[in-house]
Amino acid sequence: MNKKKKALLVVAHGSRKKVSNIEIHQLANNISLKSEVFDIVEACFLEIATPSIQDGIQSCIENDASEILIMPYFLAAGMHVIVDIPTIVDKERLKHKGVTIKSLPYFGSSPVIVDILKTLAENNT
C-alpha cells in the first residue's frame, strides 16, 4: 500500500494567454521545490485553462494524497473566492469522502502581502 501524501493545490483564475497559465504551473513547481511539508504541489484553474479544480483534486488523489489543501491564488475576495471556489470544493468533498480537502485563506488575505508590496515598491524607486 502506498504512503498517503499531503498535497497543495494552487487555484488560479485561468487565462486565455497561455504564458500566464504557465506562470502558475511554474509557481507550483517552485513551491514544490522549496516545500518540506507537501509531497504534491499542483496548479489548477477555476475557468478558461486546464486542469480544472476538479481535475486537480483528482490528480492529487491519484498520486495518493490523503489531504489536499486548496490555496486560492487571488488578491481580493470577489465572487470567485467567496462563492465559486468554495462551491466546487464542497462538491468535491462529497465525492471524495476518504480524503481531507481543506480550503486555505486566499493569497491576498495574507498579512505578508503588505511587506511584499512595500519591498517591491521600495526596491524599484
pLDDT in tens, 5-32: 999 999 999 999 999 999 999 999 999 9
Amino acid identity, position 1: M
User: What's the pLDDT score for residue 7?
Assistant: 98
**Residue-wise DSSP of 55-120:** HHHHHHHHTTEEEEEEEE--SS--HIIIIIHHHHHHHHHHH-TTSEEEEPPPGGG-THHHHHHHHH
SS3 2: coil
Question: pTM for the whole thing?
Answer: 0.91
Count other Cβ atoms within 10 Å, centred on residue 100: 14
What does the domain layout of the chain look like in residue ranges? 5-122
The pLDDT value given to residue 2 = 61
Give me the CATH code for the 5-122 domain, please. Answer: 3.40.50.1400
Phi, psi (degrees; rounded to nearest 5) at 124: -120, 25
Which of 59, 49, 84 has its CA nearest to residue 7? 59
pLDDT at 65: 97
Q: Extract the residue ranges of the chain whose pLDDT is less than 50.
A: none
What does the pLDDT read at residue 125? 78
SS3 readout for 74-85: CCCCCHHHHHHH
